Chain A
Amino acid sequence: MIKSEQAGLYIHVPFCLSKCAYCSFYSIAAPNLIPEFIKALLREMAFWKSSCLPLKGFDTIYLGGGTPSLLSGGQIHDLLNAVHSAFAIAPQAEITMEVNPGDVSPEYLRNLRTWGVNRLNIGVQSFDDGILKFLGRRHSAREAVCVSDAARAAGFDNIGLDLIYGVSGQDVRLWIQTLERALSFVPEHLSCYQLSLEAQTPLFGRYRSEGLSLPAESEALDFFFATSHRLAEAGYRHYEVSNFARGNSFRSRHNMKYWRHIPYLGLGPSAHSFCAGRRWWNTADVAAYIQNLSEGKTPVWQSEELSAEQLALEALFLGLRTQDGIDLEQYQALHGVDLLTAKKQTLGQLVENGLVEIRDGRLSPTLSGLAVADSLALI
C-alpha cells in the first residue's frame, strides 16, 4: 500500500505524423521540433527538481501522447536517463510507453526494453482495416499483428492493447471478432473504449455531416456487457470502466493513480499534474512550451485549488469508475463524509437495483453500476 502511494510521472510527447479522426489530445505534426522539445523537457525536469514541489520520487513513468514512438531510440534513452538523474525512481517502477503499430521496428522495441521500458501500450484500435481507415489510423491490421508479435519477441511481458468499439458500421458481432484477435496475443492488459465524438475532431464533423450516429443506449450497453463477459471468460478483470487486466498485478499502476487521487507530475505540453489538493497543467502550445522553458519561465499555464467539496466529488466519481470502488472509512477520513449514513436511502435503492455493492467496508459498482458510473457519482 505504501508503495502504491508513491507519485506517478507522466511525459506527454505531443507529436503525431497525422491526426487520427477521433482524437482530441493535443498533438502537432511537426517532428522537426522534437530535438528542441526534448531539451525543453529536460529543462522542465530541472525546473521541478529545484522547485519546492514535494514530488521527487516516482514509482510509475508513463510516456504518452501524441506518439512517443516518433522519438528515436536515442532520444528515449536520453529522456529516461534524464528522468533518473532528476528524480528518485523506485527500483520496481512501472515504465510504460505508448507505441504505434507501423512506427516501431523489432530493434527499436528491443532497445526500449534494454533502457528500462517494461510495459508497452500498443495503439491497435482495431484489427479491421475498414474501421482503421474510418478512424484515420496510419497503420493496417497486419502491422498491428506484427508489432504485437515483435513486442513479445523483444521480451516484453507486460503488454496492453488499446481498442475502440462502437464505430459506425460495427455491430457487436464484428467487434467481438476484433476482440478475439486481440485475445489471441494473450495481452496482459486491454483497454476497450467506446468511441466518443469529441467536439472539433474530424470524426465529429463527419458523423454530423453524414448523419451517422453512435450506438443508442441499449446497443452501447450490449457492447459494454459483451466485452466484459467475453473478457471475464478469458480471465481478465474488468477493473475500470474501459480497462481489463489479466490479474491485479497487470493493472496499469500508473493510470490507477488518477482514479485513486494519488499525486502525479505531468511533463510536456498540456500535461496535467495533481498534488496536495492542487491541479495544474502546462501550456498546450509546443512552441510556447519550448520558449518559456528556454527563458527560464514556468511551463504551467493554469492551475486550480480544489475545495474540500470538489476533492470529495472527484474521489467519488473517480473511485466509482473502478471495480474496487471506494474505501468508505478512508473516504470519511479524507472527506469527512460518512457515505453510508449521508446517502442511506439512495444507496439502499442502488443496492436493491443491483448497481452497487457494499462489502468489506467498500462501496463498489457492479458491472451495471460501472455502466452508469457518472450518475452514481451524483448521488
Chain B
Amino acid sequence: MQIYLPIAEMSVNVFLILGMGGAIGFLSGLFGVGGGFLMTPLLIFIGVPPAVAVATEANQIVASSVSGVLAHWRRGNVDFKMGSVLLVGGIAGSTFGVGLFSILRGLGQIDLVISLSYVIFLGIVGMLMLVESLRTMRQRKATAGKRRKLHQHTWIHGLPLKTRFRRSKLYISALMPLAIGFFVGVLSAIMGVGGGFIMVPAMIYLLGMPTAVVIGTSLFQIIFVTANVTFLQAYANQTVDVVLAILLLTGAVIGAQFGARAGARLHGEQLRGLLAVMVLAVCGKLFFDLLVTPVDLYSLGVAH
C-alpha cells in the first residue's frame, strides 16, 4: 500500500516505513537507545531527502523519549535539576545547530557534514563501547569485580559556578553540563538524533553521574531538545513530515516494547558489545560511501 508523503514529496510503501519503525524500535528497546542514529541514515537510504529525514526523525524522537521518560520518572530515576541545566545548553546548541544546518544546506555541504558527523561520532562511541564491554566481559570471568570510586576528581571540579545536584550525588560546576548540553544540541540538529549515545557516556565519564539516573535524565532533556529542533526545522526549513513521523513512531513504539522484553534476557555488557558492533557497522557503511567513487560526480542541489 503506497502513501504519498506531503513534505518529502515522495510515495512510499506504508508497510516498509512501519517495518523500519518496528525494527529500529525493537533495537532501541533492546539497547535502551533512541535509535535516531540508525533511523536517519536508513531514511536517507530509502530516498527521503536528508534534510527531511533529519527533521522528521527529531519529531519521532520526541514521542519515543516521552514514553521512555515516563517509565523512568515513576522509578524516580530523573534528575530534573541536572536535566534542566543540560537543557539550557541543549536549547542554545540546537538553535545554533538548526541555523548552521540552513547555512550548510545553502552551501551544498549538508550531506557531507551529516555523513562526517556520523562517521566521527559513531566511530568514537562505537570503539569506546566495544573496548569497555570486552574488558568487562573478561573481568567478569577473572574476578568478582572491584569496587570503583564514585567518581574521579579532575580539573573539571575546579571550574566556577559550582552547583549541588542531589539526585546525581554531585557537587560540580554547572558550566560542564551546560557545555555538554550545547554540544549534543548542535549534533542533535545536524544529525537528526536525540544524542543519547553521546550524552549518556558524557554523563557517566565526564560528569561522573550514577548510572541509574543517567538514562532518565538524558531522555528528559532529549524531549525538549528534539522538540526545539522539530519546531525550528518546521519553522525555518519546512522539512518536518508529520505523516512520515506518525508512521515511524507507530512502528517504533510497538517494536520498542518487544525489544525491551528481549533485552531483559541478555547481560548488560553483551548488550553493549552488540550495540557497539551495530554502531560501528553503520559508521563503516557511511565511511565507505564517502570513500567510494560516487555514481555521478554531478548532483542536484536543494530546490528553491
Question: Do A and B make up one complex?
Answer: no
